[in-house]
Structure 1
Amino acid sequence: MAQQTQGKRAAHLDGGGQYKSQIGDVVKCSRILDDNPVVKISQQLFTGLKSLFFQSMINNSLETFPKKICTQMPLINWMDFKGNHIKALTNTTFLECDALTVLFLHGNQIHLLPANTFSSLGDLGELDVSSNMITNIQRYIFVGLKYLQKLKQSFNPFSRLSEDHFESLQQLQSLDLEMIEIQNINRIMFQHIRNIPHMYVCKIKEGIVKGVGGPYKNVQNHAWVLLFHIASISSPTSAKID
């Protein structure tokens, strides 16, 4: 991966450093523009970057994305926008991001994820939307993400999930729900991710959790709830609660 370097400081960014590496017969470019006070980026910023593989703009002040961020970057594989001020995504933001495998949106101010936000990201393997302001997760938000292996949704204020929330994520290997109080948790939610080895969970309010009975009727810890559900669906050894 490209060497990290401090980007050019500007309030509105129309260009930036581009760094090349030779991998086989393909020249793959990386651009790192971290720690800048950039508020807005235009579509022209990405013009001519047909070989861009990696884009990082960590800890800027971005408030929005272009309508279609990948239009000029058909080979973009990894995008990191942690620590910005993005408030919302649209169902066109990631259209044409066909090659994207890693997307980091941690630590923004995202409150809305439209139903088809990620539907075009068929090769996505890792998604981080943790530490945002997401209050509601649309049903079928992950449809089409059949290769997703790592999902972070922790530290968001939503409290309910649809029963088919994880239905498309049968390759999931790591799920982070830390500090999420899922009020309607039940066994059906996890039936499609029965082989997941890692879950990161947290405490919930004491009381009866819907769908849990017997010795698990009154629980205080998500770990016990999730362990119970997964152990009931597959073998007890297939679930590891960290």
Structure 2
Amino acid sequence: MNLIRKQISLWFDISLLTSIFSSLLPQCTLLLSKMISAGLEHRTSENCPLGHFPCGNMSICLPQVLHCNGQNDCPNGADEDNCGDNSGWADLFDQTFKRVYPQDLATDCQMEQYPDLCQCINTDIHCVHVSLRSIPQVSANVTSLSLKSNKIHVLPNEAFIKYIKLQRLFLQDNCIDTVSIHAFSGLYKLQKLSLSQNCISFLSPGVFSDLHKLKWLILDDNPITTITANTFAGLSSLFFLSMVNTSLEQLPDSRLLSASLLLNINITTCLILNSKDAGSRSLRANLIKSLPENTFQSLLMMGDLDLSSNLIKELPVSIFKDLPSLQILNLSQNPLDHIHPGQFNHLIQLQSLGLEGVEIPNIQTSMFHPMDNLSYIYFKKFQYCSYTPHVRKCKPNSDGLSSFEDLLANVVLRVSVWVMAFITCFGNLFVIGMRTVLRAENNLHALCIKVLCCEYQRCRLPDGGLSVFRGSL
């Protein structure tokens, strides 16, 4: 009799171990699937699986997390090539401007007239933080005039009319609120103009009409709400127009963006225009809510467009059709509700795409296929990276645990998990019932077995294994 009891007890113990093992099998299967997906895969096809990138032109695919991790994981080292997204302003400016370093610059003042509180070096006048309330009188041969951080509120008509040699004019941080329509008349040689950190809310059409040589115009941190089609008329040489952190709500139609004027656009806080070479426009951190269909019409050579941190909820499906040369596009931090499947079809030269903070519920691989040259992409979720397997650098990186794919999307695996779960539940209940009915020689041992089964069953049913799988069904 005792022998029979021992055999029954041993059978129950084996049944318990089998039940526990069977319950762990689905988790082991999931873990094994993740390990396999994270391993190196040699592919005979040019297409890599989701979440992987190719090692240059070789038939080897690696997980995207291994790209630019400081170690050569590809046999040819291609995973560590071009790890920085350097296709930004530095490259853009280097291509457009060549810096000159004169060996000997004269430091003596060559000006006969200038305020006593100001400094004079060669033909440059610096009147910074000297509480000026109006434009000072200086010699006509001045080439650079800095009036930063003063108390100038009004720029009257012909304020600089006699300074025909002036090339650089800095008026930031004055709280200028009125700019007369002829304030910059006669400045035919002016190349740089800064009006940032003022109180300008409106610019008259044609106010810059005489600035044919102007290359840099900075209007940051002004409460400008609107610009018209003629606001920048006359700026035929403009390369850089910055409107960072203004109150701009909408762009005018494409007449503002003439092809001979603008090549690069950044619509987050800054607007950049270019004339013959690659340029950029930025309007980041404004209040832009919508863009007309033809906003970028005729801008065939635009290279950089930044529309981040605005209030754009939807983009016309063909908004980028006139930008075949665009290389950098930033749409991050916009409340976009929808991205059309063919939104980026025309951006065949795009190298960097920013979509940080943007939900893409309808994301699909075909959205990004036309962008063969895309090297950098920035998403809100790392799972989105699985839809851009051809992109070498995708952010954010994986957390190292979660899978790029829904491992329970496979019907066979999902059914297997449920079968194992029910077998486990039945096995645990059977062990608990039989351990209660049959007498055991070692009551403590039997109690421990029942407690173990009860605890395991409690962990699985309320919020454990079954509830984990419930969301996948």
TM (norm. structure 1) is 0.78
Of the three residues 213, 230, 233, the one matched with 2:388 is: 230
State the match for 2:302 in structure 1: 124
Percent identity between the aligned chains? 26
Contact 1:149 1:171 in 2 (8 A): yes
For residues 57-99 of structure 1, what are the alpha-carbon distances to aligned partners after superposition, in whole Å with 9 as ceiling and x for unaligned? 1111100012234431122222111100011113235332523
Determine if contact 2:254/2:297 at 8 Å carries over to the other structure.
Answer: no
Counterpart residue number, 2:79: none
Q: How does 1:100-139 map to 2 (within 5 A)?
A: 100=262, 101-139=279-317
Residues 61 and 123 of structure 1, relative CA distance in 2, 3 Å threshold: same
Q: What is the deviation of 1:105? A: 0.2
- Which ranges of structure 2 fall in alignment gaps of 5 or more residues? 1-96, 98-166, 263-278, 396-473
Rounded to whole Å, the distance in 1 between the matches of 2:213 and 2:184 is 15
Equivalent residue runs for 1:16-165 within 5 Å: 29-92=191-254, 94-100=256-262, 101-165=279-343
Q: Distance in 1 between matches of 2:308 and 2:187?
A: 29
Taking structure 1 as reference, are residues 5 and 28 closer, same or farther at Cα in structure 2, changes over 3 Å only?
A: closer
2:394 — aligned with what?
A: 241
Contact 1:118 1:142 in 2 (8 A): yes
- More off after superposition, 85-94 vs 161-170: 85-94
Which residue identity is paired with 2:241?
M
CA contact (8 A) 2:206 2:231 kept: no
Quick one: structure 1 residues 4 and 189, their matched pair in 2 at CA, closer, same or farther if it must change by over 3 Å?
Answer: farther
Q: Hey, what's the Cα distance between the residues in 1 that align with 2:386 and 2:177?
A: 51
Q: CA offsets per residue over residues 96-118 of structure 1, 9 Å max, x none?
A: 25232211100110001001101
Which moved further from structure 2: 63-72 or 7-16? 7-16
TM-superposition CA deviations, 1:99-141 (whole Å, max 9, x none): 3221110011000100110122222111111111111111111
The Cα offsets for residues 152-200 of structure 1, whole Å up to 9 and x where unpaired, read as: 1111111211122111211111111110111221122111113211111
CA distance in structure 1 between the partners assigned to 2:201 and 2:236 by the alignment: 24
Structure 2 counterpart of 1:185, from 351, 359, 363: 363
1:140 is aligned with what amino acid?
S
Q: Which residue of 2 aligns with 1:12?
A: 178
Contact 1:71–1:96 (CA<8 Å) still a contact in 2? no
Cα offset for 1:239?
2.3
Q: What is the letter of the counterpart of residue 394 of structure 2? A: I
Distance 1:192 1:69, change over 3 A: farther
State the match for 2:373 in structure 1: 195
Name the CA shift for 1:179/1:195 in 2 (closer, same or farther; >3 Å).
same
CA 1:152 to 1:124, structure 2 compared with 1: closer, same or farther past 3 Å? Answer: same
2:119 corresponds to: none
Q: Give the equivalent residue in structure 2 for 1:207.
A: none
**Backbone CA RMSD of aligned residues:** 2.5
In 2, the alpha carbon distance for the partners of 1:229 and 1:18 equals 55
- Please list every run of 5 or more consecutive structure 1 residues that lacks an aligned counterpart in the other structure: 21-26, 203-220
**1:9 counterpart letter in structure 2:** C
Contact 2:253–2:294 at 8 Å: present in 1 too?
Answer: yes
C-alpha distance in structure 2 between counterparts of 1:150 and 1:39, whole Å: 30
Q: Which amino acid in 1 is paired with 2:383?
A: W
Supply the distance in 2 between the matched residues of 1:76 and 1:31 (Cα, whole angstroms).
11
Query: Relative to total residues, which structure has the larger helix share, 1 or 2?
Result: 2
- Cα pair 1:68 1:96 within 8 Å, conserved: no
CA distance in 2, matches of 1:33, 1:150: 27
AA aligned opposite 1:89: L
Cα deviation for residue 13 of structure 1 reads: 2.3
